[in-house]
């Protein structure tokens, strides 16, 4: 139980530090006057504070288990904890996916066809997850060790295979749509950060992080040691971190490019709005319109 408490405290410490370092940008983005809540702001709040709630729950549960049970928690507690962790992972990933979808939708100027495609692949992924859990939910058969972790390694049963394929398909389509729109733009490869370069790079980072994290979680189950306890708190830190950074970086650079465009127009020059940045800025963030 000591290892679980340390892992939980580490996750909470990372989340708390991130909240401290981003407090000023959060205030400017979410809590500035006039106070208006939009979809993007709500997604920011939902991802950030859901991650904090998950970390607080982990610490509270670890403290309770440490002082309530001398050795191993009862099986029922382990089952409930595993089910809750799975729900937390899917909830945070779903929030991240919605943010990525909204970003692509903005890049294509609210195209109806793109919107329909995004909704379709999101529904497909959600259906795959629900189908996998309904047909292959075997948590009642899982055996747990002394740290309340499943003793059997993960295997690619049909349910997990379908879910992984759906996740791969979703990430591939999202990343392909972003690359198709930004790949040939000069600003994408600029050394100075621009909206298009941020959109492309953030897409690569998320694409890489999700699959490395998933692969690490599956592979690590074959070495059932106490270090596995750090996976869940780190996941609950990284996904909200990615969600918030995507929104804040786009908002920051969007405002900078918008101001540069207004100044160019005032001097009689062509505006320097990013051809793919303006939809995100104008159509999804309030208070940014000219």
Q: With the C-alpha atoms ordered 227, 231, 236, 238, is the resulting torsion angle positive or negative?
A: positive
pLDDT reported for residue 190: 60
174, pLDDT greater than 80: yes
pLDDT reported for residue 265: 43
Does residue 187 contact residue 196 with C-beta atoms inside 8 Å? yes
Residue partners of 129: CB distance under 8 A and separation at least 6: 90, 163, 166
Mean pLDDT score, 250-273: 50
Q: How confident is the model at residue 273 (pLDDT cuts 50, 70, 90)?
A: very low
d(CA 217, CA 229): 11
Tell me which of 27-36, 211-220, 228-237, 243-252 is least confident.
211-220
Mean pLDDT score, 15-20: 95
- Average pLDDT of the chain is 76
d(CA 162, CA 147): 29
Q: How confident is the model at residue 271 (pLDDT cuts 50, 70, 90)?
A: very low
- pTM, 2 dp: 0.81
Tell me which of 82-86, 175-179, 239-243, 275-279 is least confident.
275-279
247, pLDDT greater than 60: yes
257, pLDDT greater than 80: no
d(CA 204, CA 246): 12
77, pLDDT greater than 50: yes
d(CA 1, CA 92): 26
Tell me which of 157-166, 223-232, 275-284 is least confident.
275-284
DSSP assignment of 229-261: GGHHHHHHHHHHHHHHHHHHHHHHHHHHHHHHH
pLDDT reported for residue 281: 44
Q: Hunting for tokens 């809750």 — which residue is that?
A: 84
Q: Which two three-digit tokens encode residue 56?
A: 């607080």
120, pLDDT greater than 70: yes
The structural domains of the chain, ordered by start, are 2-284 (1.20.1070)
Note the pLDDT tens digit of each residue in 201-216.
777 777 777 777 666 6
pLDDT reported for residue 50: 94
Q: With the C-alpha atoms ordered 159, 211, 169, 128, is the resulting torsion angle positive or negative?
A: positive
Residue partners of 226: CB distance under 8 A and separation at least 6: 3, 4, 147
Q: How confident is the model at residue 194 (pLDDT cuts 50, 70, 90)?
A: low
Count of beta carbons in the 10 Å neighbourhood of residue 157: 12
């Amino acid at each position: 139980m000591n290892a679980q408490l340390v892992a939980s405290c580490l996750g909470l410490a990372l989340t708390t530090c991130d909240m401290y370092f981003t407090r000023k940008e959060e205030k400017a983005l979410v809590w500035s006057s006039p106070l208006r809540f939009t979809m993007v702001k709500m997604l920011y709040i939902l991802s950030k504070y859901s991650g904090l709630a998950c970390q607080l729950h982990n610490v509270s549960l670890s403290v309770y288990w440490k002082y309530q049970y001398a050795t191993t928690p009862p099986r029922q507690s382990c089952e409930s904890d595993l089910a809750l962790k799975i729900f937390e992972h899917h909830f945070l990933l779903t929030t991240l996916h919605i943010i990525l979808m909204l970003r692509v939708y903005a890049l294509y100027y609210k195209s109806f066809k793109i919107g329909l495609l995004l909704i379709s692949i999101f529904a497909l992924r959600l259906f795959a997850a629900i189908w996998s859990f309904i047909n292959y939910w075997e948590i009642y058969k899982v055996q747990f060790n002394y740290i309340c972790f499943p003793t059997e390694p993960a295997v690619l049963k049909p349910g997990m295979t379908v879910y992984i394929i759906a996740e791969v398909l979703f990430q591939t389509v999202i990343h392909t749509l972003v690359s198709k729109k930004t790949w040939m733009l000069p600003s994408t490869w600029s050394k100075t950060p621009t909206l298009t370069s941020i959109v492309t790079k953030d897409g690569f980072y998320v694409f890489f992080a999700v699959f490395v994290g998933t692969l690490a979680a599956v592979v690590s189950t074959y070495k059932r040691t106490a270090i596995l306890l750090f996976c869940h708190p780190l996941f609950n830190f990284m996904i909200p971190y990615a969600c918030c950074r995507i929104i804040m970086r786009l908002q920051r650079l969007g405002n900078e490019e918008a101001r540069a465009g207004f100044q160019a127009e005032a001097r009689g020059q062509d505006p320097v709005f990013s051809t793919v940045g303006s939809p995100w800025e104008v159509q999804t963030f309030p208070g940014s319109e000219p």
